[in-house]
Amino acid sequence: MLKFPIYFDNHATSPMDPRVLEAMLPYFTERFGNAASRNHKYGWEAEEAVEIARKQIADLIGASPKEIVFTSGATESDNLAIKGAAYMYREKGDHLITAVTEHKAVIDTCKRLEKEGFKVTYLPVRKDGLIDLDQLRGAITGKTTLVSIMAANNEIGVLQPIGEIGAIAKEKGILFHTDAVQAVGKVPFDVNASNVHMASLTAHKIYGPKGVGALYVRRRNPRVLLTPGIDGGGHERGMRSGTLNVPGIVGFGKAAEICRLEMASEGARIGAMRDRLNRKLHEGLDELYINGSTEHRLPGNLNISFAYVEGESLLMGINDVAVSSGSACTSASLEPSYVLKALGAGDELAHSSIRFGLGRFNTDEEVDYVVAKLVSVVSKLREMSPLYEMVKDGVDLTKVEWSAH
Amino acid sequence: MAYSDKVVDHFNNPRNVGSLPKQDPTVGTGLVGAPECGDVMKLQVRVNPDTGVIDEAKFKTFGCGSAIASSSLATEWLKGKTVDQALAIKNTDIVAELALPPVKIHCSVLAEDAIKAAIADYKQKQEAGQAS
């Protein structure tokens, strides 16, 4: 039985796993204590639950529990990591490096720092969406203190070479932060193997609750210090004050544990479903372009441009399927996705793109329904597309003088 | 974004999709917009040389649902109008009819531009025909 709308937008958020909800429920009611209350059972049991979750999350990324700092989500984690390190190490240098395809939480944080006098290099990406390691090396100066490169991209799902980036950062003696929100729980991620100093995580992308995230902050080799963004009671080793969201943290921990135990089999299953979607779309339609590397990619991601069809009309035609055109954060604007533009594929292909994000609760039956629907809608819209007609008549669209407006 | 019922209707049942022979002297073709801006409209009219009335209108549009609806509506309105009546169609009429939200007003502007471009093409052909 299909349930509509079919949810293929797991990069935006994921439905909560019922096992996660079950773990959380007692912490809303009978175990309501404040984890910072040291004088009674309510506080002790809340603290104990938080420490269990801290270990569950640490275990997923090969960290020590003491290196996990809880936050409200990955946007806060990115802000804390980048601003916190930039301010803390300002005497050492004022230069940061990131990439043009990063999430807005990283890009806009860097832009804010630029206004405050920091210098930021935004590395371009190659056609496959990955950064060029030689360009990264070339961008590092004596004043560089931090490089922030995401582990997996939220739109095109490509996996950046974080092991190599970590090795370069270690060799040059600079800090390496990675927004690992989309990668953690989906593909193997180990902070020691990749020489990561800081990593942003969030619960709601791994079938946990919204409103809770974490920042991994390395304590050894080297010990990373951060200037806090929120002052107060000195929670979380002084890096993030504020009463802990105990039920959220418990859910985050449970979600992380499930991912650690099931990632290998789940990744294979979701990857096979994604490949089925891709294969069947190609069987039914011509002129499809996959955005980003197909080799270094999250198992659940497929980002395709349906040439000569505009993305918004395509979404309107498949309104019983929840997907996104560009990223959910920018789909209210008319600008095409800055991530797709960065690949240099041309704006019209960016306008024609759909991001599919498959997840734990999707099925082959849903894939088959979505393929049939897309083949029919794309065919209809291409019949309606002057561009498709021109191409079929042998017109080279790049040679046409368009009346820009 | 929520679309009005009329936009949804034109999107699901577009009127007058297709093409007219471009070389025909009684056919005017307007091609406006640009792929990198996310919308391109091709709008064509055929004018009865005896009466000066538009007896056929066709469109093809690459664009969002509102752009498709705007051009579909434009072809409906064009049929039966004289060339001068056609030029009197304003984008604000389309906005009102389709209840377009502010972010979609450019779709109606594009449709008005397409009408004007198609009529201009027709007139140019007529003048060229008389000159020769």
pLDDT tens, residue by residue, A75-113? 999 999 999 999 999 999 999 999 999 999 999 999 999
pLDDT at A251: 98
Compute the nearest-CA separation of A192 from chain B (Å). 43
Share of chain A above pLDDT 90, in %: 91
Its ipTM equals 0.94
Parallel, antiparallel, or unpaired for β B39-47 and B54-62? antiparallel
Integer Cα distance of A322 and A316 in angstroms? 10
Chain A residues in contact with B62 (beta carbon < 8 A): 308-310, 385-388
d(CA B127, CA B132): 9
pLDDT at A333 over 60: no
What is the per-residue pLDDT across A248-271, written as a single tens digit (0 to 9) for each?
999 999 999 999 999 999 999 999
A182 with A11: CB under 8 angstroms? yes
| Positions of A marked catalytic | 329
Q: What is the pLDDT of residues B62-92, one digit of tens each?
A: 999 999 999 999 999 999 999 999 999 999 9
Q: Which long-range contacts (CB under 8 A, 24 or more apart) does B102-108 make?
A: B103/A334, B103/B1, B104/B64, B104/B66, B106/A405, B106/B39, B107/B39, B107/B63, B107/B64, B107/B66, B107/B67, B107/B69, B107/B70, B108/B66, B108/B70
The pLDDT of residue A183 is 98
The whole-angstrom separation of Cα A330 and Cα A145 is: 30
The Cα of A180 is separated from the nearest Cα of chain B by a number of Å equal to: 30
Of B107, B110, B115, B117, which is the active-site residue?
B107
| B5 at A interface, C-beta within 8 A | no
Q: Would you state the structure tokens that stand for residue A303, as one six-digit string?
A: 């980002």
In a domain, residue B130? The reply is no
Q: What pLDDT, on a 0 to 100 scale, did the predictor assign at position A346? A: 77
* Cα A353–chain centre separation: 18
CA atoms within 13 A on the CB side of A313: 35
Q: Which two tokens stand for residue A281?
A: 């779309």
- Say how far apart CA B76 and CA B86 lie, in whole Å: 11
Q: What is the pLDDT of residues A373-388, one digit of tens each?
A: 999 999 999 999 999 9
Q: Which pLDDT does position A334 carry in this prediction?
A: 61
Task: For residue B107, indicate whether it is catalytic.
Answer: yes
With bands split at pLDDT 50, 70 and 90, how would you rate the model's confidence at B1?
A: low
| CA quadruple A297, A300, A301, A307: dihedral, nearest 10 | 130
**pLDDT > 70? residue A328:** no
Q: How many domains are there within chain B?
A: 1
- For residue B131, tell me if it sits in a domain: no
Task: Give the pLDDT score at B103.
Answer: 85
Reported as a single tens digit per residue, the pLDDT across B11-70 is 999 999 999 999 999 999 999 998 888 889 999 999 998 999 999 999 999 999 999 999
Q: Is the pLDDT of residue A172 over 80?
A: yes
pLDDT in tens, B91-116: 999 999 999 998 889 999 999 999 99
- Of the pLDDT bands very low, low, confident and very high (cuts 50, 70, 90), residue A326 is low
Q: Helices (DSSP H) in A239-303: which residue ranges?
A: 246-284
Nearest to A338 by CA among A180, A160, A146, A125: A125
Task: Judge: A403–B64 Cβ closer than 8 Å, yes or no.
Answer: no
Using CA coordinates, name the residue in chain A closest to B18: A384
Task: Please tell me the predicted confidence (pLDDT) of residue A331.
Answer: 45
Residue B47 inside a domain? The answer is yes
Show the domains of chain A with their CATH numbers: 6-11+263-393 (3.90.1150.10), 18-259 (3.40.640.10)
A310/B39 CB distance under 8 A: yes
The residue ranking higher by pLDDT, A254 or A333, is A254
- Global pTM reads 0.93
The minimal CB distance from A389 to the residues B34, B60, B65 is found for B60
Query: Per residue in A197-255, pLDDT tens?
Result: 999 999 999 999 999 999 999 999 999 999 999 999 999 999 999 999 999 999 999 99
Query: Within a domain: residue B132?
Result: no
Q: What pLDDT shows up at residue A387?
A: 94
Query: Pick from B8, B42, B65: which is nearest to A386 by CB?
Result: B42
Q: Could you tell me what percent of chain A has a pLDDT over 70?
A: 97
Complete DSSP assignment for A318-329: TTTEE-BSS-TT
Which residues 37-76 in chain B show a CB within 8 A of chain A?
Answer: 37-42, 60-65, 67-68
Give the residue on B whose Cα is nearest the Cα of A381: B62
B17 and chain A in contact, CB less than 8 A: yes
Measured CA to CA, the distance from residue A127 to residue A158 in angstroms comes to: 11
Full domain range(s) for residue B114: 5-125
Alpha-carbon torsion, ordered B77, B81, B85, B88, to 10 deg: 10
Position A329 pLDDT exceeds 50: no
DSSP state of A143: T
Mean pLDDT of chain A: 95
**Torsion angle, CA of A275/A281/A287/A291, rounded to 10 degrees?**
-40
Question: Which residue among A313, A384, A402 places its CB closest to the CB of B33?
Answer: A402
Q: B31, A386 in Cβ contact below 8 A?
A: yes
Question: How many angstroms separate the CA atoms of A162 and A256, rounded?
Answer: 21
Q: Which residues of B touch A384 (CB under 8 A)?
A: 14, 17, 60-61, 68
Is the pLDDT at A349 greater than 90? The verdict is no
CATH, residue B113: 3.90.1010.10
Q: How confident is the model at residue A404 (pLDDT cuts 50, 70, 90)?
A: low
Spatial separation of the C-alpha atoms in residues A327 and A213, rounded to whole Å: 20
Residue A327 is predicted with a pLDDT of 37
A56 closest CA partner among A88, A19, A28, A83: A19
Amino acid present at B44 = Q
Q: Per-residue pLDDT for A156 more than 60?
A: yes
CB within 8 Å: A316 and B65: yes
Residue B64 bears catalytic tag: no
What pLDDT, on the 0 to 100 scale, is given for residue B130?
Answer: 78
